[in-house]
Amino acid sequence: MSTVITGIGAVTPNGLGAEEFWKATLAGQNAVKELTGFDVSKYPSRLAGQITDYEAKAHLPSRLLPQTDVSTRYALTAAAWALENAGVTEETLPDYDMGTVTSNALGGFEFTHQEFNKLWSKGSEFVSVYESFAWFYAVNTGQISIRHKLRGPSAALVGEQAGGLDAIGHARRTVRRGTKLVVSGGVDAAFDPWGWASQLAGGLVSTATDPKAAYLPFDERAAGYVPGEGGAILIAEDSASALERGAPQIYGEIAGYASTFDPKPGSGRAPGLRRAAELALADAGLEPSDIDVVFADAAGLPDKDREEAEALRAVFGVRGVAVTAPKALTGRMYAGGGPADLVAALLSIRDGVIPASGHSSRIPEEYGIDLVVGEPRTKPVGAALVLARGRWGFNSAVVVTRHSN
């Protein structure tokens, strides 16, 4: 029994909808621009991968607007698209056979910012009752399951920027435990002034002012990352059930998953990324030589890039596999980053093309990685490894393969 992906939905800075995201990603369309939601002229970092063409009213019923943060609106929209793409309606399966597992790292910053503003300026009785859940990491899982009447086993996972892949791993686990279909993935957004300040406080955000030079993973000029917003939702499904109901397509199989945690800093022990990759490969029953492309975590910080290059060399050998980092075009979408990479990986399998890594071009020789730069690379892809790291030690890896039946 295998778990396959039958539907994809993405809401990203360089495209609304999985196909739009993919087209923009292959075209190298850069979504990194100066943040426009408020005046950032006095902030040390001003560039972000912002979604600028999303009109909530066009995508969601008005009943959901007073109770949702922008991040939840993106999640609901991506979930609706993924379900539609998979040909799933409320009647497709019994409600208890469909679950929801999503990841979120930042919560509902903008909504909460507005309510805090009411709290200190007007008083507690002016704070929206919906604040009770609109801020919460689990709210996307809850809202998606309520809207689509998915009453099967559901969960919310938090693993900083690695959590989106953990959600996919847990979706597969949920399918293996007997739930036929799981709506899974991750979405984040925090571009209000409070959210922005919080992201900058982490100290890793690029202070560059040139959008083409702000987030350069694996490049010798790498000096920080650009935050993005959005993410992707995928439909994970028991393969037998997908075939039985006549799913319109199968993008691929979730063949392997693993997560590890870094050792305590100063312990002298190696970081956990290599182990996550090796465990995911073992879980998939694949050798490193079976992998056609790695979608890297691509931190965009010299020490973290070096660390990831080391892990890739250790697993695949020097320049042993094609590596790409299309998130350089969107910025890092936190819990949404891994699932968006997964969508790109599945479409690489479908279309036989690997997207390039944004504007990265000068890759230190000693990294020993075959980074796809400049133009997409045409190449048959049968298996892809997607990596994600989260701050304070999270490492997650997912292997997706072409589904043969």
Partner 1 sequence: MAQLGIDDLRRILIACAGEDDSIDLTGDILDISFEELGYDSLALMESTARIKQEYGIDLSDDAIGDVETPRALLELVNATEVPAA
Q: Does 64 bind partner 1 (CB under 8 A)?
A: yes
Site string for partner 1, 127-166 (x = CB under 8 A): -xxx-x----------------------------------
Stretch that binds partner 1, among 55-63, 243-251, 268-276, 391-399 (CB under 8 A): 55-63
Smallest distance, partner 1 to C-beta of residue 65, A: 5
Q: Tell which one of 34, 39, 65, 289 touches partner 1 (CB under 8 A).
A: 65
Q: Does 116 bind partner 1 (CB under 8 A)?
A: no
The 3-state secondary structure of 183-210, one letter per residue: EEEEEECCCCHHHHHHHHHCCCECCCCC
Smallest distance, partner 1 to C-beta of residue 126, A: 7
Q: Does 56 bind partner 1 (CB under 8 A)?
A: no
CB closer to partner 1 out of 42 and 57: 57
- The DSSP line for 270-327 is PPSHHHHHHHHHHHHT--GGG--EEE-----SHHHHHHHHHHHHHHH-TT-SEEE-GG
CA–CA distance, 70 with 196 (Å, rounded to integer): 14
Q: Tell which one of 44, 61, 246, 265 touches partner 1 (CB under 8 A).
A: 61
Is the torsion defined by CA of 206, 27, 188, 371 positive or negative? negative
Smallest distance, partner 1 to C-beta of residue 17, A: 22
Q: Does 126 bind partner 1 (CB under 8 A)?
A: yes
Roughly how many angstroms between the first and final C-alpha of the chain, as a whole number? 12
The token duo for 131 is 């604040």
Burial of 193 (C-beta count, 10 Å sphere; 0-12/13-18/19+): middle
Number of residues in contact with partner 1 under rule CB under 8 A? 13
Convert 54-75 to b/e letters by CB count within 10 Å (16 or more is b).
beeeebbeeebeebbbbbbbbb
Site string for partner 1, 173-212 (x = CB under 8 A): ----------------------------------------
Query: 10 Å Cβ neighbour count for 19?
Result: 15
What phi, psi does 172 have (nearest 5°)? Answer: -65, -45
Q: Does 67 bind partner 1 (CB under 8 A)?
A: yes
Q: Does 63 bind partner 1 (CB under 8 A)?
A: yes
CB closer to partner 1 out of 67 and 361: 67
Residues that bind partner 1 (CB under 8 A): 61-67, 125-126, 128-130, 132
